[in-house]
Copies of this chain bind each other. A is one copy, B any other.
Amino acid sequence: MRWGVDVDGRRAGSGRGAQVPPATVARLPRYLRALEAVAAEGGVLTSSDELAARVGVTPAQLRKDLSFLGSYGVRGVGYDVAHLREQVRAALGLADERRVVLVGVGNLGHALANYAGIPERGFALVALVDADPRVVGTTVAGLVVQPADRLADVVAETGATIAVLTTPASVAQDVCDRLVAAGVVGVLTFAPAALRVPPHVDVRAVDVASELQILAFHEARRAAAGEA
């Protein structure tokens, strides 16, 4: 089985907003957040200037990004907040709720299971799985933690398509393989390990230590420049 490290997946997909560039996709959630903030403040109409300022991008970039989804503004007027919000939500596939399984209920997994952002933004946490017998059977975030050997069943029973991986790095690839075999097509991993997945599966990796190291790089550069 020849598995690439993702990418690819460029199905033609005709019609409306067929091919949204990856860089644009990565910014859509931030636009959605800004739109929700404006709506919460009672804003009915907004502009690329206002949204861009909130998000921290240029107005030109925001307009270009939105243009990949369709033409939802009115020239000379701006964007209807509620309407644009729905369009962005739809583009992100949040029209119907996505079911998420979380594997690895340690410190971090525990925190993420309770993380306010998840249930509120289009996702339903439907199952928790852990290998530790002391954790299995306990209730976290209203769910009973399932044993690792039930992983495939749990995915099948709940219909989860997205997984959050908060296991130790040493078992991440194995767990990932089993999740994919069970039907998961999107994986958000916090384990510091490169995951190999088949082309139809999407992986997003968050590595706290890497993020800190990137910050350290810039700090070192500044220090070197300052002393020079």
- Identify the A interface with B (CB < 8 A): 5, 9, 11-14, 20, 25-26, 28-30, 32-34, 54-57, 91-94, 98, 100, 106-108, 110-112, 114-115, 117-118, 120-123, 161-162, 164, 185-188, 192, 194-196, 200, 202, 204, 206-225, 228
| Cβ-defined partner of A162 (8 Å) among B100, B122, B215 | B215
- B228 touching A208, Cβ below 8 Å: no
Bound: A38/B162 CA distance, A: 31
- B93 touching A221, Cβ below 8 Å: yes
| 10 A-B residue pairings within 8 Å (CB atoms) | A29-B209, A29-B210, A94-B216, A117-B192, A117-B208, A120-B209, A121-B213, A185-B218, A185-B222, A186-B212
Chain B residues contacting A225 (CB-CB under 8 Å) are: 11-13
Given A117-B209, A204-B211: A217 touches B92 (CB 8 Å cut-off): yes
- B29 touching A219, Cβ below 8 Å: no
Chain B residues contacting A162 (CB-CB under 8 Å) are: 212, 215-216, 219
Chain B residues contacting A33 (CB-CB under 8 Å) are: 192, 210
| Cβ-defined partner of A221 (8 Å) among B11, B209, B222 | B11
- B192 touching A212, Cβ below 8 Å: no
The residue in chain B whose Cβ has the minimal distance to the Cβ of A7 is B56
Chain B residues contacting A54 (CB-CB under 8 Å) are: 194
The residue in chain B whose Cβ has the minimal distance to the Cβ of A123 is B212
- A212 touching B224, Cβ below 8 Å: no
- Residue among A122, A123, A202, A216 with most chain B CB within 10 A: A216
**New A-B contacts (16) at CB < 8 Å, excluding given A56-B196, A123-B216, A162-B219:** A5-B57, A11-B222, A20-B217, A26-B210, A30-B194, A33-B210, A91-B217, A94-B213, A94-B216, A107-B111, A107-B114, A112-B208, A117-B192, A121-B209, A202-B215, A204-B214
Given A13-B228, A219-B202: A213 touches B32 (CB 8 Å cut-off): yes
- A118 touching B217, Cβ below 8 Å: no
- A194 touching B56, Cβ below 8 Å: yes
Chain B residues contacting A208 (CB-CB under 8 Å) are: 112, 115, 117-118, 188, 206
